[in-house]
């Protein structure tokens, strides 16, 4: 499994709008093959900073979701980028396990 932590800073006063767009993305990913977690959080101290925590079965699943978002109805990457005051910060992870993730036998 792979993971990503994304930190995004919206233009001043646009954090809730950014979070709403990302929640729409998350809704569209519900049940998407290979998507284990797509969690949207807003920084309690700075509401213009929004975090996305992602867990995918593999890189190809993450790439397939990105490709699908460009062609599907609803928000696309350009909608998110238009709300940002600076480029997103991305941290790539190797996911080892934890609460809420399936085990090797597919059970949570």
Q: What is the pLDDT of residues 11-26, one digit of tens each?
A: 999 999 999 999 999 9
Span 94-104, average pLDDT: 82
Percent of the chain with pLDDT over 70: 90
The length of the chain, given as a count of residues = 108
For residue 75, the model assigns a pLDDT of: 81
Residue 104 lies in a domain: no
Please count the structural domains in the chain.
1
| Residue 70, pLDDT score | 60
CATH of the domain at 82: 3.30.70.100
Per-position b or e across 7-42, b if 16+ CB within 10 A of its CB: ebbbeeebbeebbebbeebbebbeebebbbbbebeb
Q: Residues 48-57: pLDDT tens digits?
A: 999 999 999 9
């Amino acid at each position: 499994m792979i993971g990503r932590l994304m930190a995004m800073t919206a233009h001043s006063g646009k954090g809730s709008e950014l979070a709403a767009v990302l929640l729409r993305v998350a809704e569209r990913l519900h049940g998407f093959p290979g998507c284990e977690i797509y969690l949207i959080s807003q920084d309690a101290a700075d509401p213009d900073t929004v975090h996305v925590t992602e867990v995918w079965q593999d890189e190809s699943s993450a790439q397939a979701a990105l490709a699908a978002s460009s062609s599907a109805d609803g928000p696309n990457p350009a909608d998110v980028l238009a709300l940002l005051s600076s480029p997103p910060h991305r941290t790539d992870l190797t996911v080892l396990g934890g609460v809420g993730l399936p085990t090797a036998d597919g059970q949570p």
